[in-house]
Amino acid sequence: MRDAGIKQYFATMKPPAATVSTVVVKPSEWTPGVEAIGTVNAVRGVDLTVETSGIVKNILFHANQKVATDAVLLQLDDAVEKADLVAQKAQAASDQAALTRAIELQRRGVGTDATLDAARAAADASAAQVNKLQAVLDQKQLSAPFGGTVGIPKIDIGQYLAPGNSVVTIQDLDTMRVDFTVPEQQLPLLKIGQTVKLGSSLADMSFAGSIRGIDPKIDPASRLVSIRGEVANPEGKLTPGQFVQIRVELPRENNVISVPQTAVTTSLYGDYVFVVVPAKPAEGAAAAPAKPDEQKAAADAAKPQADASKPADNATKPADAKPADAAQQQAFTISQIFVKLGRRNNGMVEIVEGLKDGDQVVTAGQNRLFNGMSVAVDNTIDPSKSANKEVQQ
């Protein structure tokens, strides 16, 4: 009889209520968007190279210097080219003088047309040769094609350079472009001129620009389409080659049901949440009394081994007051509800099916809960907020 009483005692004993944090579901404004990962590059940026071979004579810039358009950055040794140009200019002057004399003789009637034509051809050839040598001389200098910031020099004074050798990079950091790709299913949502936000993370979208180009062709291998946006960079905080998070915001929607992502649990059977509901009267009622013999056996099992320990009687007095206090509090249980998820944004997830306005959803501690379990609601600390911040970071 004693064993039966103990069994009955533990069978009717309820586990203590678990403390949970909750959030009340309310329709709210939702800003959908297309999120992607992209790379930042300068709208104007190139690696400068020399067009002709030569020895580096002078480097006229330093790292991270801002230069203007056509500023001379590099000078190659041009002594031979300068001498050739001087000689050719002298030859051109001589040919021009011969042409002048031939014209005068032709005017007087003592010169022939053939002599005049030969003199004119020689003068034109000499002038063209001067222009050619001047162009060769100009190639001994490397100039900035546009204004921007130059990088670290990749050459040294006295170094021999061949055509195509890289000298330095120049980047116009005032305006940047960002290239990213999106799945073909999201292509109809995008258009030229839409606002693009970007930053180091979804929680820090400190830069805003617009879409400037959409590739008219979808990559058949990846099923992705390339998108290009432009963003102002007046403070130079964006760097070419930088990895960024991108979000293209779409028109806002109203009356969207959403919950923190921490409220959703994924299982083999689907996604679900725990909804807090008032306990049914039957759940709050006391269990059916046991038989007299079983009550006596359970009492004997729970009774101290010796009545000599009188302080034990006093120790039960505070416990006698607890049921009265607990009865004054409303009892809650949880119900497992399977839901259909939609879009995600800033730590929130859209609930397409399963929840309604006013539902009280558990936001933390789901791993220790089960369907029908008694819970106590304590929203003084909301673990979902700190969890959402970690998700955004």
- CATH number for the domain spanning 314: value is 2.40.420.20
**Of 139, 157, 174, the domain-final residue:** 139
Task: Count how many domains the chain has.
Answer: 3
Q: Which pair of structure tokens corresponds to residue 97?
A: 């003088």
Which residues is 25 bridged to in the sheet?
A: none
**Of 212, 235, 252, the domain-final residue:** 252
Is 235 part of any domain? yes
pLDDT at 163 over 90: yes
Considering the domain architecture, whether residues 367 and 384 belong to the same structural domain is answered as: yes
Return the CATH number at 216.
2.40.30.170
* Helices vs. strands in the chain: H and E counts, helices first: 8, 24
DSSP assignment, residue 25? -
Rounded to whole angstroms, how far apart are CA atoms 100 and 116?
9
Q: Summarize pLDDT for 35-70 with one digit per residue, the tens.
A: 999 999 999 999 999 999 999 999 999 999 999 999
Considering the domain architecture, whether residues 320 and 362 belong to the same structural domain is answered as: yes
Considering the domain architecture, whether residues 97 and 217 belong to the same structural domain is answered as: no
Considering the domain architecture, whether residues 262 and 218 belong to the same structural domain is answered as: no
Considering the domain architecture, whether residues 98 and 12 belong to the same structural domain is answered as: no
Q: The whole model's pTM is what?
A: 0.64
Residue by residue, DSSP assigns 51-85 as SS-EEEEEE---TT-EE-TT-EEEEE--HHHHHHH
Model confidence band, residue 13 (pLDDT cutoffs 50, 70, 90): low
Rounded to whole angstroms, how far apart are CA atoms 176 and 41?
6
Q: Pick from 274, 273, 267: which is nearest to 350 by CA?
A: 273
Q: Summarize pLDDT for 88-122 with one digit per residue, the tens.
A: 999 999 999 999 999 988 888 887 888 888 999 99
Considering the domain architecture, whether residues 282 and 383 belong to the same structural domain is answered as: yes
Considering the domain architecture, whether residues 299 and 312 belong to the same structural domain is answered as: yes
Expressed as residue numbers, the domain containing 375 is 2-30+255-392
Instruction: Let me know: does 22 contact 277? Beta carbons within 8 Å.
Output: no
